Amino acid sequence: MDALTVVTQADPAFRADVLAGLAAPIPAIPARWLYDRRGSELFEAITQLPEYYPTRTETALLERHSGDIAALVGSGEAVVEFGSGSSAKTPILLRAVAPAAYVPIDISGDFLRESAVALTSEFPSLPVHPVEADFMRPIQLPDQIAILPKLGFFPGSTIGNLVPRSAVDLLRAMKETLGDGSRLVIGMDRIKPVEVLLAAYDDPAGVTAEFNLNLLHRINAELEGDIPVEGFRHKAIWNDEMSRIEMHLDATRDAAFTVSDRRFAFAKGATIHTENSHKYGHRDSRLLLRAAGWGVVAEWTDERQWFSIILAEAEPPRWAP
């Protein structure tokens, strides 16, 4: 090995998920591994595509209704964002609700630092308390915001990337993190014509395909793999029964390869399931929130009803028949 070779330390959880996922009867790898540096850049590029309606629609909804949100929640909240606020959406909310503090939570310290710096220039007097943690579990918030009312923020319909059981677990964890009486602004993507959904997840420019196939490049680079990436293609399908878009990687020919010294053989047509993106009907989103102890206070949607922003409130447990 020459002096310039950079060795990436493999994440043991990535290795375990990939080896188990490739060997599973229905091969599947958790979607969170799509987001290495390159994957995150490609996802950013996806959000700019004409066919990818969610980002544009949600941003417009926030611009139109952030005043309504502020009227309902008041000012002086600690805004707690689940995921770092690298997007254009965070400043829209912060401008409207005049918070007393901002707490971005992200598992990646790099993203946290980048977004904290970006926000400080626009909100120089806003106290920012970044927390590096996995928000899938309840988190101890910084002491500095202990007495402030909390407003959670979870845009992007990222909730849709979880199967309903995990989505409810996450919403419950958020409730525990924020506390009873806190509020949550959450973006949820709606069910819409299948052609619109398929174009958004299989764009003609091939950016989503590159995003999906990047997972194989990542496996090869980080887990000593020799997967023939050109032997796989991106596939997006609408699973109506599960109300979700699914991304898969399809073997276009028989492919035998090694990952971390383990041999795998994929016959032509075999697939690796890499992501789900659930879409919700009006009542579905409410039921999901209620299952986790969140009552819906208000909901805003666009003219085409393609996306909705919901303001929910953490309800205290109460007896029910």
Give the separation between CA 145 and CA 153, rounded to whole angstroms: 16
Task: Specify the pairing of strand 262-266 against strand 255-259.
Answer: antiparallel
Element (H, E) at 282: helix 282-291
Please name every residue paired with 265 in a beta bridge, in sequence order, or none if there are none. Answer: 256
Taking the least distance from each CB to ligand AVI, the nearer of 157 and 177 is: 157
264-293 positions binding ligand AVI, by CB under 6 A: 275, 277
CB–CB of 75/97 below 8 Å? yes
227: Cβ contacts below 8 Å, ≥ 6 apart: 216, 219, 220, 255, 257, 259
Question: Is residue 203 part of the contact set for ligand AVI (CB under 6 A)?
Answer: no
Supply the minimum distance, in Å, between the C-beta of residue 275 and ligand AVI.
6
Task: Specify the pairing of strand 232-239 against strand 262-266.
Answer: unpaired
Supply the minimum distance, in Å, between the C-beta of residue 200 and ligand AVI.
7
Q: Binding marks (x or -) toward ligand AVI, 247..266, rule CB under 6 A? A: --------------------
Contact region with ligand AVI (CB under 6 A), list: 58-66, 88-96, 157-165, 167-175: 157-165
Give the separation between CA 51 and CA 298, rounded to whole angstroms: 28
The residue count for binding ligand AVI (CB under 6 A) is 11
Q: Return the closest-CA partner of residue 46 out of 36, 31, 37, 56.
A: 56
The three-class DSSP label of residue 151 is strand
Element (H, E) at 3: none
Supply the minimum distance, in Å, between the C-beta of residue 276 and ligand AVI.
8
Supply the minimum distance, in Å, between the C-beta of residue 26 and ligand AVI.
20
Contact region with ligand AVI (CB under 6 A), list: 123-131, 150-158, 226-234, 294-302: 150-158
Taking the least distance from each CB to ligand AVI, the nearer of 208 and 285 is: 208
204-223 positions binding ligand AVI, by CB under 6 A: 208
The three-class DSSP label of residue 306 is coil
Amino acid residing at 106: D
Out of 53, 102, 135, 201, the residue judged to bind ligand AVI by CB under 6 A = 201
Out of 157, 182, 285, 308, the residue judged to bind ligand AVI by CB under 6 A = 157
Q: Which residue is nearest to ligand AVI, using beta carbons?
A: 277
Taking the least distance from each CB to ligand AVI, the nearer of 54 and 104 is: 54
Question: Which stretches does DSSP call E strand in the chain?
Answer: 78-82, 101-106, 131-132, 150-154, 183-189, 232-239, 244-251, 255-259, 262-266, 271-278, 294-301, 307-314
Question: Is residue 54 part of the contact set for ligand AVI (CB under 6 A)?
Answer: yes
21: region left, alpha or beta (phi > 0 left; psi from -120 to 50 alpha): alpha
Question: Is residue 108 part of the contact set for ligand AVI (CB under 6 A)?
Answer: no
Contact region with ligand AVI (CB under 6 A), list: 97-105, 125-133, 155-163, 214-222: 155-163
Task: Specify the pairing of strand 232-239 against strand 244-251.
Answer: antiparallel
Taking the least distance from each CB to ligand AVI, the nearer of 141 and 207 is: 207
Supply the minimum distance, in Å, between the C-beta of residue 54 and ligand AVI.
6
Supply the minimum distance, in Å, between the C-beta of residue 148 and ligand AVI.
28
Quote the tokens at residue 69.
Answer: 């949100």
Question: Is residue 39 part of the contact set for ligand AVI (CB under 6 A)?
Answer: no
Supply the minimum distance, in Å, between the C-beta of residue 166 and ligand AVI.
14
Contacts with ligand AVI by CB under 6 A lie at 46, 54, 156-158, 160-161, 201, 208, 275, 277
